[in-house]
Structure 1
Amino acid sequence: MKAKPMLPEADRPHLPRRSRRLPDTILAAVHRACDEGRLDLAGKLLAVGEEAMAAEADLRRRRQDIWGLIAAYERLWHLRQSAALAPEALLSGRWGFTAGLALAAAEG
């Protein structure tokens, strides 16, 4: 059997490189959106990631993907919780009325 001659680079058909599976790419995009503070976009990407993972035929891969999905949901939840705890929220709700008064008096 003869080996096929190699075509020059310019004559080769362009084939896209696939370094990651679609669910992995979506999870990477979720983490990037979280890094950039775009939490609404991260939530939407997680929903798309769920769909991509649900289409996975291999149950072992799907089980592995779910752990990454859970970690991404946890990260998004923590980021949303810390964003909700703005200084204004701390003065009125969490620390109580007297602590809020004391902080307000110290600032003013």
Structure 2
Amino acid sequence: KFYWMSPTQVRWRPFEFWPANTAVNIDAAGTKSSFRTGDSLVATADDATHQMTITRNGVVQKTFPMSMGMVSGGHQTPNGTYYVLEKFATVVMDSSTYGVPVNSAQGY
């Protein structure tokens, strides 16, 4: 599946996750790339318990508390599969990240 991020940048991912440590070779009309996937790293969020569990190659590494957004006002996180496409040293995740000011009645 392809996603154009800008006129010169495209992101591509397969429909299913690649197994851990898989060699991947891509040839798109002569533009080639090769890489190898790393460990299987999965984060599972449980809305009922508000816990996130991190597993590496099927072994639990860490479990920690988390929020799933506010149910009131329709700001809860929808169920589904999400993909990590970027990595940051730190990131603030509050209501302002999607346009609701932190100091508003629906902010957090």
TM-score normalised by the chain length of structure 2: 0.20
* Higher strand residue share: 2
User: Higher RCO, 1 or 2 (CA under 8 Å, sep at least 6)?
Assistant: 1
Greater C-alpha radius of gyration: 1
Q: TM-score, normalised by structure 1?
A: 0.20
